[in-house]
Amino acid sequence: MLDTLYLDDWLAVVDKPAGLMVHDSKLARGETDFAADRLREQFGKPVFLVHRLDRATSGCLLLAFDCDTASALGKTLMSREVEKDYLAICRGWPEQDFVVDHPLDGGPGKPAKKPALTRFVRLATAELDLPSAGFDTSRYALLRASPETGRFRQIRRHLKHVSHHLIGDTSHGDGRHNRAFRMRGVHRMLLHAQRLAFLHPVSGARIIATAPNDAQFDRALALLGISDQ
């Protein structure tokens, strides 16, 4: 059962664990366990996923219980009226505030590039005694990432574009740093959908859902000696 962060008759926000695929797709490669199936059983009725999270990403997942609500929420997402805040741990020390405005394709089989923009805020920095790239130490940073568009693996690919690779990202990250964290007991990609805020399509109320870090993400923060507070 997935933890419920918000629930009413029309919609829900749940906390998806890292490693669980949201739904069946070409990327499933024989996987049979999907969040969508779990949620249909958990709530005992049809569910309509309003957005997606990568398999390796944890945190807030928004869903609706009927087509009309799903459509209204989808339009809200397209209009960028939904606030989506992620926690990410990357290599290096980027600027305090920065924006990556870099078009991205839609993933396998979708070569057309579309506008993609992510805003980043550096929340904390750390330096570990890990030799890397000719240096005696390695630098890392905790970021808040707020994507204004929803392209395929957007945050991960935008961080790669600016050479501040996401830790634990085996597709777009830096293998040396990924291995360093795995050797210290961190075995997940360090991207967490921490917060969703939006206007309820029926009541008009402002809904804010926050997902706590899992033990692995907290282990990474403890390793770095930093806090997300």
58-64 vs 191-199, strand pairing mode: parallel
Question: Is residue 54 annotated as part of the catalytic site, yes or no?
Answer: yes
Q: Which two tokens stand for residue 28?
A: 């499933």
CA-only gyration radius of the chain, Å: 18
From the list 54, 85, 169, 174, the catalytic residue is 54
DSSP H/E element including 156:
helix 154-161
Q: Which two tokens stand for residue 37?
A: 């199936």
Residue 196: strand, helix, or coil:
strand
Which residues, in sequence order, are CB contacts of 45 under 8 Å at separation 6+? 65
- From 58, 87, 68, select the one nearest 146 (Cα to Cα): 87
- The set of catalytic residues is 54
